[in-house]
Amino acid sequence: MRALPIARTEEWDAKAWAVAQVRASHTPALLASFDGTLIVANGHADALTEDGGVAPALRQFLSDTGAADKSQVVRVGVKSGGQTLRFDLTLLPLPYGDVLVVGREMTTEANLVEALTASRELFRDLALCSSDFAFELDATGVFTWVSQDGVLGFSSAELHGTAVKEVFGDGEALSAFMSGEPIQAREIWCRAKSGTERCMSLTVVPVARGGGWCGTRGIARDITALRLHEREAERLKRRDDLINAVVAAMRAQIEPRRIMLAAADALLAATASERVTIRAVRKELCVSVGRASEGAEAGLIAALGYQGQTNGSVSLARDAGGMPYGEDEQHLLEAVVPHVGVALALADALSAVAPAREDDQTGLLDRLGFAKEARKRLGAIARAGRSGALLLVALDKAPESDDLLKQMAREVSSSVDVNELAARLNADVFALLIDERAHEAAIVRAQRLQAAIGGLAVNSTICVVPVEANAGEPLDALMSSADLAIDAARREGRSIVIADQRER
């Protein structure tokens, strides 16, 4: 596909602009037509011009640029004064059939590279001035010359005459040392003489004689300390992020189970686990997040404590056959254990304040606890002139397993914010009292909750009962409206219903 031509406007004279660029350039620049006719050139471009036109080496590139109508970057060699000058040129087609050429002379750099490649003695002299490890390999992969200090614990005497694969193995290091293409600062991990893993930055230049590859020359730098420092900095950042997440979760929650769930969620994300379980010692206070298969293995387990006393445990699990836990996850767990221990102690203390108000199986408020707290919240809403909503979630049938029930409770409790209430009223009914000033927002939250419940293969009907500002309606009236609306919705096959305020 040809590029779209630049729009011609009276305000912009492309040729005048290009001529100005040529004259203002401090590097070789010229303007020519596609057929090689020279229009203008500056004093730095003398080597690129010839007999009033452009040098022959440049003409084909001008023609190609015109045919493709695309800019391109090329390197050309031009004979001048008995030597070959090399230029890196950028060719830019203009809308009137001309080409703007701007370049940079690369003769010195190109000659230096050729000298380094061709001159073994010069390479050795430069290597002696460097603190890096320098080497030469022949076509069989044997070190024919190495710098005097050796590398990674190997002396120059041990390396000289030895095959590179005998020193660094036949993996990534061998292919890099024996590369047929130039390599610039490639990082490779290999074993030092002591057996430890080390990281080297490797630069390699292939050596050719008689038109064929005959070995390599290069320089290697041990950068292990730098990479280990970066790895440690990343580990410390992950640890601090995890600690901050757990502490923030503790501060944001007031219900015991939700405190533990928030801490478990933070651990799940930070350690890439399939499941995290936090369990108290002195009572049946336990949460488990994640959905690992039954074959998941507890890869990491740590005891939790508070004020010198063990108060629980935390376990991290991944599916069988998955990646095993490493030192990074172990360090993360060790760093966060004291904070999770405090979270568990706080959750345990809050549970002990009013144990009768919680459902034993889910840790949510039970019917009596919800009634007591909901009446307080409704009174506060009425006094403040705010609005809210009561959500009643009726399942088609009670969950058949404890795991499914716990997942249901987690989805319900995660749907409420701080200072809102979540409860399990009986085997198949959950309730939420939320603080939403816009009833449309309450409906959106009901839709999200139903989608989450549906993801557990559980069918439900959710009723949204708006709580009007200044209404001061009793909880019993709201619950009665919700029951009536759910019965009607089930008969009509609806999954989300809004209670009709006129029926209250």
pLDDT tens digits for 135-165? Answer: 889 999 999 988 888 888 999 899 989 999 8
In the 8-state DSSP scheme, what is residue 37?
B
Last residue of a domain, one of 172, 205, 222: 222
Q: Angle 334-340-345 (CA atoms, 0-180°, nearest 5)?
A: 135
Phi-psi region of 36 (alpha: psi -120 to 50; beta: other; left: phi over 0): left
387 in the same domain as 495: yes
Note whether 287 and 278 are within 8 A (CB).
yes
Return the CATH number at 302. Answer: 3.30.450.40
342 in the same domain as 379: no
Last residue of a domain, one of 222, 252, 277: 222
How many other β-carbons are positioned within 10 Å of the β-carbon of residue 224? 15
Domain count, the chain: 4
| Per-residue pLDDT tens digits for 432-487 | 998 766 778 888 889 999 998 888 888 899 999 988 876 667 888 888 888 889 98
Tokens for 320, please give them: 């069988």
Last residue of a domain, one of 81, 105, 129: 105
3-state secondary structure at position 256? helix
207 in the same domain as 127: yes
Return the CATH number at 94. Answer: 3.30.450.20
- DSSP assignment of 53-79, as one string? EE-HHHHHHHHHHHHHT--EEEEEEEE
338 in the same domain as 405: no
Helices marked H in 312-415 — which ranges? 327-353, 367-384, 402-413
Supply φ then ψ for residue 78, to 5 degrees: -125, 130
Helices marked H in 415-474 — which ranges? 439-454
Q: Is the pLDDT of residue 56 over 70?
A: yes
345 in the same domain as 211: no
185 in the same domain as 289: no
Comparison of pLDDT for 407 and 247, the residue scoring more: 407
Rounded-to-integer distance, Cα 46 and Cα 32, Å: 14
What's the domain range around 285? 231-353
Query: Is 406 within the bounds of a domain?
Result: yes
- pTM comes to 0.38
Rounded-to-integer distance, Cα 251 and Cα 213, Å: 67
370 in the same domain as 281: no
Note whether 48 and 30 are within 8 A (CB).
yes
* Nearest in space to 126 (alpha carbons), one of 218, 221, 222: 218
What pLDDT, on a 0 to 100 scale, did the predictor assign at position 268?
A: 83
Q: Is the pLDDT of residue 286 over 80?
A: no
Rounded-to-integer distance, Cα 449 and Cα 466, Å: 17
Q: In angstroms, how far apart are the furthest CA atoms of the chain?
A: 104
Query: Is 4 within the bounds of a domain?
Result: no
* Nearest in space to 416 (alpha carbons), one of 457, 364, 366: 364
285 in the same domain as 214: no
340 in the same domain as 318: yes
Query: Is 31 within the bounds of a domain?
Result: yes
347 in the same domain as 361: no
What pLDDT, on a 0 to 100 scale, did the predictor assign at position 471?
A: 65
Query: Is 382 within the bounds of a domain?
Result: yes
482 in the same domain as 384: yes
Query: Is 3 within the bounds of a domain?
Result: no
349 in the same domain as 361: no
Query: Is 6 within the bounds of a domain?
Result: no
